[in-house]
Chain A
């Protein structure tokens, strides 16, 4: 097997004049180098996906840069050698002749007419500009008693799975078949990329259990999968490529830096009539995920509030930084940040308490299912109760009364309470809401299958439609199958590898968008019901009793009426696969079933209408977060003293699993709020190349979190379940910002930006 290594750009912006691999190829142990020339010759550019549909002029993007690099670390070539160390040594021998170009790092500077252009063919660095508008925003502002304004900013960060990107490709040049193993989270992206770029028909993708994804392994990974596969085709030998940590930080994708101008039209009683938001997205040096952070805001555009009028205008600006990718909530944490920051600002303007303003505007429990103006249909919830419990658990009044005394002693303590949504189950047609004239609506709705088999030995195998990323999918699905089928979970094996040839996949088969709870659970539940029918029919025949008179427990099918009359799954396995003469003709052979779960089934808003209304996601978990922080005003350091969450994830199937998702996502949200993230200098050099520089939180920085569950089952899902994944990363930055601002109220400091690192807070205090 060969070991691949990627040659990356050492400039943030430059023309590539020449790539000379001769010296590297002569190095003992080096087998091949895939240069931009070969990439251009043997592959096709990726088709512009739904996030690049806004481009006026198509920009062909290949697996590597071809004649120009636009961000530091952009892949240029791949070298393959007999060992990883030979590959590392030889990489230095590839000579790239660059013609450095002026760089532009700040999106506001990139919009200036004098700015260097990243893509001349676009005529501007504003690669997309558009808007969505719901209700009558103009009228809302006309009827307002007051307009509250604020400018907000969220920064670039990443969820940084500890397992880097990886790919292994093997090509058989007789059968012309390609086998690829990789850790892409979204099979559709990988599968389509290989088909498009390499024009292959016979290929198979296997995605073994992934070491963390968070969205980071959805998009840019396709470049490396195509590159590794091209190397396998080129050398006709298996090739393995594993990204290293600094490559990951440089070039595996970051969240989008976003700026917002927000205006809220409000009545004196706190009612929000409308919201107007102008957004600038810093999308980095590629157009392939141009609108991804904008359209993801459609998922929680109205958050938990019954506001009727909203306009969101966006501009996606290309800069010489790493391209943007989803991670843990993508876009939604910022949308929640906008809502919760403006709610606090409205409270201040009207002299109301932050909780009061929210209460006036929350969707009420008797309004479910609630239709939001942008097409989302909220399934269930009780937002006032979440808020009430959060205020109680955090002891809001007590903290406020102690705050005064603490200030007298020079201690600055603050409390913030926010509410947020966690949408679940994605509808990829959502992205076309900003392109009302689009002819093609990719990825509408949600379909995914599950295959169940009672095997010859009486145990059960489950094959899921989507890959697994470390969220206990195996545990939760086997629990559901065990319950429906009447067998102990120990007798169930869930396949942890996804296989393009064998897994029952559909449009929703992706470990992204909080899909699992809806699709994998819906599919295994349906499949288990079907398999149960088959088992009962066969058992009825064996026992000569009608199926209605049978029960299944612990893998034994027994008669309700004649105790002792029973047959085990083990015996049924032997009958089903061992002896055709035991099976009557009318019974289907085998104890095997595949069931495809579909949701939603039809209109409304499965596809965007002419007004851009679309069901962006299908279930809506919600949570109230409350934080108490203390700020050291000498250093700007923030300590989280208490953190409380009241979480509604619908019916909880496994509390340990759901708690784990909440603990994990809130820890990341808090870390991001307090300083974790990427920093570039003005030349486009990334200053945060390591986990430490990026300020990843350890056990010491991560506060203890108190979770209370408040379950409001979904009427839409099979077991009342709602999403539990990225959720707590959505409201947590807003909760922290709110608490910090409250703590620093005597100094008049406003928390308008993320991160609120010690440095940022110190600067705000010493302005």
Chain B
């Protein structure tokens, strides 16, 4: 039995009928068509599917879509504004902080979430806060550097 949910994604409101068992990650990709959220493991290990739910960083493969009724979600598509990359995305490009790109949307959102909370985060804290996101290509160095360099954009 499908349920009707209303959810605000990247500032836009969607009313969608969804099966109770559908995971948020698949809802975003297959039903809403936001394929920037990647699915690397479906069990909350890799972090490629990370999104912001009510401002909290969550792995969308661990959330049922029906639980997001009346809630607000930001996916990676919500970061760039009017065709201009968000400063954290710019920093990833600048620092070669991505290779195959599969983990990138989750990494970018994890970095964005951290810097929103603490724009003064140092390398240790950046490493700690990105530990829930796995990358098989980069060895993390350039990702950590990118997040560190994006911090200035978050300081008011």
Contacts and interface: CB of A to CB of B under 8 A. Distances in A.
Interface of A: 84-85, 159-164, 209-214, 244-245, 469-472, 656-657, 659-660, 663-668, 690-692, 696, 698-700, 702, 704-705
28 contacts: A85-B22, A161-B102, A161-B136, A163-B100, A211-B38, A212-B102, A213-B100, A470-B137, A472-B96, A657-B96, A660-B99, A660-B137, A663-B138, A663-B139, A663-B140, A664-B137, A666-B139, A667-B138, A667-B139, A668-B136, A696-B134, A696-B136, A698-B131, A699-B126, A699-B130, A699-B133, A699-B143, A702-B139
A509 B133 CA distance: 32
Nearest to A661: B99
Contacts of B138: 660, 663-664, 667
B142 A659 contact: yes
Contacts of A245: 40-43, 45-46
Nearest to B41: A245
Given A657-B96, A660-B96, A660-B99, A667 B140 contact: yes
A651 B127 CA distance: 32
Given A245-B43, A663-B139, A700 B100 contact: no
A667 B100 CA distance: 16
B90 interface: no
Contact of A690 (B38, B43, B135): B43
Given A161-B136, A470-B137, A664-B138, A690 B99 contact: no
Contacts of B140: 663, 667, 698-699, 702
A691 B96 CA distance: 24
Contacts of B144: 699
Interface string B115-156: 000000000001110111111111111111000000000000
A162 B103 contact: yes
B45 A162 contact: no
B86 interface: no
A21 B74 CA distance: 42
A657 B140 CA distance: 14
B129 to A, nearest CB: 9
Contacts of B131: 698-700
A159 B136 CA distance: 7
A244 B95 CA distance: 31
Nearest to B139: A667
B100 A85 contact: no
Which 9 residue pairs of A and B lie closest in terms of their CB atoms, listed nearest first?
A470-B100, A667-B139, A663-B139, A211-B102, A212-B100, A656-B96, A470-B99, A162-B102, A245-B41
Contacts of A698: 130-134, 140
Interface centre among B40, B43, B132 (most CB of A within 10 A): B40
A702 B142 CA distance: 12
A219 to B, nearest CB: 18
Given A85-B21, A162-B40, A698-B131, A211 B101 contact: yes
Contacts of A213: 100
Contacts of A214: 136
A244 B46 contact: no
A33 B10 CA distance: 40
Contact of A691 (B101, B127, B134): B134
Contacts of A656: 95-96, 142
Given A245-B43, A691-B46, A696-B134, A469 B100 contact: yes
B127 to A, nearest CB: 4
A405 B91 CA distance: 43
Given A85-B19, A212-B136, A700-B131, A162 B46 contact: yes
Given A163-B38, A244-B42, 7 more contacts: A161-B102, A211-B38, A211-B100, A211-B101, A470-B100, A470-B102, A690-B45
